[in-house]
Structures are given as C-alpha cells and as structure tokens.
Structure 1
C-alpha cells in the first residue's frame, strides 16, 4: 500500500499521537493516514453517510468502524464491499476463535472486529451517583435531570428490558414496547437529561450529571479519577464494533494493510493498553502481562464469564421489518424529542 487514505473512527479508539498506532502504521508502510474521529454514535454517523453511500460515494473514506448490527444493515443496503479473505491473512491467523463468525456476519463476508465492549453505568464516585448500582437506581427520582442514556437503541432498551425482568436471551416485541413506554415516561418527567452518543463523557467530565449509561472503555475520554464503570445488577449489554470498507472507497490496499497491521498481537497489545476495550485478537494477554500487568488483569478488557453471564448482546427488535421500523421510530422520537 502507498499514498494517502482516510480512516473514520470513534473518539478515543486508537492512539493518534506521534508514537501511536496510526503513526507506526505510516512509518511501516510509507502511507499517509488521515485519521478522523467523526463517529459519535451509529445513528448519527449513518444519517450523515447514507446520502453519500446511496450514490456509491464513501466521502473519501477507505475504512470506518460501526457496530455489527449497523455493518449488517449497511451491507444489506449494498453500501459495503465484500472482503477478500486472501488479503487478510494476518487477521484470520490471529482473530479470537469465538469471533471467526458473527451472528450479523457469518463467515466474515464484510466486517473485521475492531474492539468490543460492555454497556453499563458510569458514575461519579465522589458524588451522589456513587449509590447507583442498578438500572432501577438510575431512574430514582432523586437523580432527576442528572442522568443520561445512550441514543443507541440496542444499548439502552435492552438494559431497561432486563431491569423489567425480561429474558435477555429472548426479548419479545412486547418487551421492547414496554421498555420504550417506560423511557418515554422518564423522558417526559425530565428524569433523563438527554440521549447521547459519546457526548455523555463530556457531561461527566464537567459534572453536569451524576451518572450515565456508557461504554466500558471510555475512562480516558472522561478524564477524571473519581469515575467508575459498573455492570448494572440486572446485567450489562455487550457489543463488538467492526471495521468495514464502504463502496466507492479509494485506496482499499491501505485499508487491507491496516486491518492486518492491527491484528499483529504486539500492535493490538498497544491498542488494548490505550483504549481499554475488549480485544478481538488472540495472544494479546501474555504480551500485556509483561508490558502492563494491571491492564492484563483488567476485567473490562478480558471479561470473565461471570461478568458476561447476565448480559445481552446488542439485540435487534424481533418481528418483521415493519415491526422493527415501528420500534426504531418510537425510540428515535425520544432521542430527537
């Protein structure tokens, strides 16, 4: 690979600094990477990209990262390239066996895992939010206007359904509807300050809120020592974000080279050390054990089965496309107010 190429990602999801992974890739290959952190949430990014992708235009991007459910939606719409496995040897040599297949992408036709994580509750431990351990606690009226939830339906609604006692292995349309009705009540009452993508980290930093639903690796974005990520007592939600090549992507050679590069265990160990999310690559833990033992023991990077047992995995609403659309639109109307 040579030349310039553009990679779109979420904030805080790689070290973009002069000694970071992007710089190391450019040094190794002589490429010039334009790295943009312009993805705050799947829904916002899809809204921005859809008009371009519908015309076969990637907006100059060769690679970007979205959650697996959106990757599948984009592929089904014809917005993503099918991957050539012969050009991804390092990826398939080193990918965690559990991730060789994805329910959203059996056989990895269009997506390569970037990082995974857990959705739960971030609290400021030095304030009243320190008492919040469950979803039920989050909606206690004493925190009115001081809590936020995610604008990602598949993150927020499952956590509410679990709070309401629904079975995370088998959410029904009624479960989804009941949870959305509950969120509407909490939105109308002013309990929920707002629905956010990554912006919740800024509201925790500034102390505008006492707690928020959020993603397990975002400590560095919040930038405070007095915060803690907690798995709600009712169970968390798990996700995996995926690297995908959009239709009309320029310089796909650089995108393939980059995917292989970040699947080298040593490079991946640097990424895990920086982002603190769940790594998709085998052989990273022993490298980290030598380099940064605390990170190698971090249950949010290498989650034990006990942490994952009560969690759901980014589910889609059940039923027909029309049923799903109805639920999605009801949730979106809460987000947009």
Structure 2
C-alpha cells in the first residue's frame, strides 16, 4: 500500500518504521488497533490537554441553518479513518473494492484519508476549527465511542437523517442500538465493534489455560510474562469486571479499587509492562505468555500462529465501538449518509469484515460471510452469539473533569 507522505508527519521513527514493516509483511502484521497504540504511546500527557473545550459558537452541530449541505451540487465525500481499517485488493494495494464500488454506484468521489492515529491526537487536530465554528475539511470521521460522545456532547456533530439510511436503520444489530454516548443513534453508527479479551501463548504457558484477569495479576507461574494495555478503558474496565464492578456504573471508589489492584501486580513485578503496538509480536514469540488483547488482532494472529489462544472471562469483557460521525460544518452530510447506508448492506458489510476482522454490527452479514469464509462466520470474536454479546460491557461516559482525573491516575500507574 502506498502511503500519503502526510501520514508520516509528526510520527517518531519507531512508529514510522513499524508501519513500513507492516506493509511488507502481510495484512495480519499490523492491524488498525495496533497502529492506534503506536500513536498513543507517543502522545504522553496530550490526552488531558483536549478536555474542557466549549461548544462551537453558533449552536449545536445539528442545526440545518448552521450546516448547509452541498451534496447535490458537490458529489464528493471526505472520509477520515484509521489506517488499515478498510478492505484492500490483494493484488493492487491501491484499490479498495467496497469503496471503489460505492463510487461507481453513486457517482460520489470519495477522498479517503487515513489520518486518524489516536483519538486524542485527532481531536486536537480538529478542535480549533470546531471551536471556531468552521469546517474541519472532513465530512465523515470514524472515532472510538467515547470520543464520538465527546463531540456529540459539545454540539460538534450533525444529526443524521434516518430516512436516507434505510439499510442502517433496518440492519443495525439490536445490541448496538443502545449507546450511552449517543442515545437512539441520532448522530453516529458503528463501523465496527471492539472486544478486549484475555489472550495467551499456550507454548509459553506450558499448556496452561489463562482465562481471567485474576490469573494475569496473581498467577505466580506467569510472573514477569504478562502485559496489560495502555488503553485506560480496557485495562481498568477488565480489572473492574474481575472485581465484580460494572464499568457501566462505576464511581470514583470503584476506579481506585481497580487501580490499586493493578498497582499491587506492578509492585510485585507480576506485569512485564503495559503494552501498546508490540504486544502481538511479544505474544507470538512467547516473550509475553498472556495479556489483555483486542479481539481483531487475535483473529489475525491465530491465522499465523497455532499456539495463540484467547478466552472471554466469565466475569465478562470490555466492549466498545468505532463510530461513523459527521462533524459540524461538514459540507456533504447527505453523501456521508449514503456511504453509511451502503456499508450497512449485509453483503458489503461481510466483505469489509472479512478483511478487518473486528465485530460486525450489521444484521445479516454473518449469512453473507458464510459465502466468503465459513471459519470467520463462526468466529465468536467477529460474530458473537447472544450469550457472548451479553457479556460485553461498555465503559460509562465520563465528563471532561472525570476523564482528566482518571487519565492522570492511570498515567501514574503505567509510568506515562
């Protein structure tokens, strides 16, 4: 895949080199979520700097008088997404089959830019325009649910017209219809679901199954060979679940209990480290025996390494979504709605999911996936059954002040 040189701007050498290696070593070598961690590890305290921005002057982003739409006259769409988060032709890496087909069918020319490497970094990039009531230059963005919720709360998202998206309205799976960050799905629709689970290398564990966070934090046989994630909502959320705390309803004391428990494991050197992009390489090699991991990565890794296994703890797992959203002042909302509607066609959704390997939010896509890859159709990390889906827990929305406070505590824990 040829990369836009702008994507390299501001990236440290380790990030750039890892990205370059991914493009020469196959699709499974670098998932979208791995690259997210590469970017976030370089951000340090920047996650806190973006808090407390007031709504854009001139009202909410869903006011049609404040957001004129030019879609009929301008058949274009500026779509910002994460790297490696859309299907690519195996022979011609410049082609994106589903997106190319959308352009042919609708006559809408899509400028697809992979310029989201970290939620907070991207927020910092677009907030000056949003705060000033100006266009960001992007008609559609894909942000993790908590960040999508921030834009919605601040009035920086445009309300979507369900009449223009019959596929999305009809085919959004029921478990995705309720979203704390966007009640009623008025402003956003999921691009994919994300599950945080426990993963392990059975060769490195000597055949022992690792099925819980308790084992990660306390099992002496794993001492020094465990990693947890630098993503606060996943590491703290999974620890809360193991403690019997609901991450959808926690308070400050609950958060502190989870932090204290992880701190004990840090102090006794149970944890090798908090890991970002490179947990996959270390898990595959056996340098890490067990860890918290993102399901989409594990689906891909298992294809290459038969020693990799995963477990969904009995206590549950952390669940999130990456959501499509139209920013305030975007010029082409209707064109964006057409694209959302297109990707909620089950056949198109299955084609996309076969490549990205994350949880598919589209009802009917599993049946279409059976025509593409029966193993993927039966993979519970891509198409969870009702019981598995019911065990997933979101991390409740936080105010800007709460998030700053919790991120500070987590940063101290992981040494960021």
Unaligned 5+ segments in structure 2 are 1-70, 90-94
Q: Does the CA contact (< 8 Å) of 1:186 and 1:192 recur in 2?
A: no
Q: Which residue of 2 aligns with 1:163?
A: 242
Shift in alpha-carbon separation, 1:137–1:262, aligned structure 2, 3 A: same
CA drift of 1:216 comes to 1.2
Distance in 2 (alpha carbons) for counterparts of 1:144 and 1:51: 46
CA deviations on 1:99-140 (whole Å, 9 max, x unpaired) are: 334232122221112111321123233323863321122224
Is 1:244–2:325 an aligned residue pair?
yes
Name the SS for the 2:321 alignment partner. strand
Is 1:178–2:294 an aligned residue pair?
no
Distance in 2 (alpha carbons) for counterparts of 1:20 and 1:267: 10
Distance in 1 (alpha carbons) for counterparts of 2:412 and 2:102: 42
Distance in 1 (alpha carbons) for counterparts of 2:168 and 2:196: 26
Name the SS for the 1:120 alignment partner. strand
Distance in 1 (alpha carbons) for counterparts of 2:281 and 2:169: 37
Distance in 1 (alpha carbons) for counterparts of 2:337 and 2:207: 44
Is 1:111–2:191 an aligned residue pair?
no
Count of residue correspondences: 334
Q: Which residue of 2 aligns with 1:134?
A: 212
Is 1:9–2:81 an aligned residue pair?
yes
CA drift of 1:58 comes to 5.8
Is 1:280–2:361 an aligned residue pair?
yes
Q: Does the CA contact (< 8 Å) of 2:80 and 2:113 recur in 1?
A: yes
Mapping for residues 1-337 of structure 1, pairs under 5 Å: 4-17=76-89, 18=95, 20-56=97-133, 59-128=136-205, 131=208, 132-139=210-217, 140=219, 143=222, 146-167=225-246, 170-187=249-266, 191-196=271-276, 200-201=279-280, 203-204=282-283, 209-219=288-298, 222=301, 224-226=304-306, 227-316=308-397, 322-335=401-414, 337=416
CA drift of 1:304 comes to 2.0
Shift in alpha-carbon separation, 1:321–1:290, aligned structure 2, 3 A: closer
Shift in alpha-carbon separation, 1:308–1:264, aligned structure 2, 3 A: closer
Q: Does the CA contact (< 8 Å) of 2:198 and 2:292 recur in 1?
A: yes
Normalised by the size of structure 2, how large is the TM-score?
0.69
Distance in 2 (alpha carbons) for counterparts of 1:8 and 1:312: 27
Q: Which residue of 1 aligns with 2:24?
A: none
Distance in 2 (alpha carbons) for counterparts of 1:12 and 1:125: 28
Shift in alpha-carbon separation, 1:167–1:89, aligned structure 2, 3 A: closer
CA drift of 1:185 comes to 4.2
CA drift of 1:158 comes to 1.6
Give the stretch that moved more between structures: 215-224 or 133-142. 215-224
CA drift of 1:174 comes to 1.4
Distance in 1 (alpha carbons) for counterparts of 2:332 and 2:407: 35
CA drift of 1:232 comes to 2.6
**CA RMSD of superposed structures (Å):** 3.1
Determine which structure has more spread, i.e. the larger CA radius of gyration: 2
Distance in 2 (alpha carbons) for counterparts of 1:58 and 1:302: 37
Q: Does the CA contact (< 8 Å) of 1:71 and 1:244 recur in 2?
A: yes
Unaligned 5+ segments in structure 1 are none
CA drift of 1:224 comes to 3.1
CA drift of 1:261 comes to 0.9
Name the SS for the 2:350 alignment partner. helix
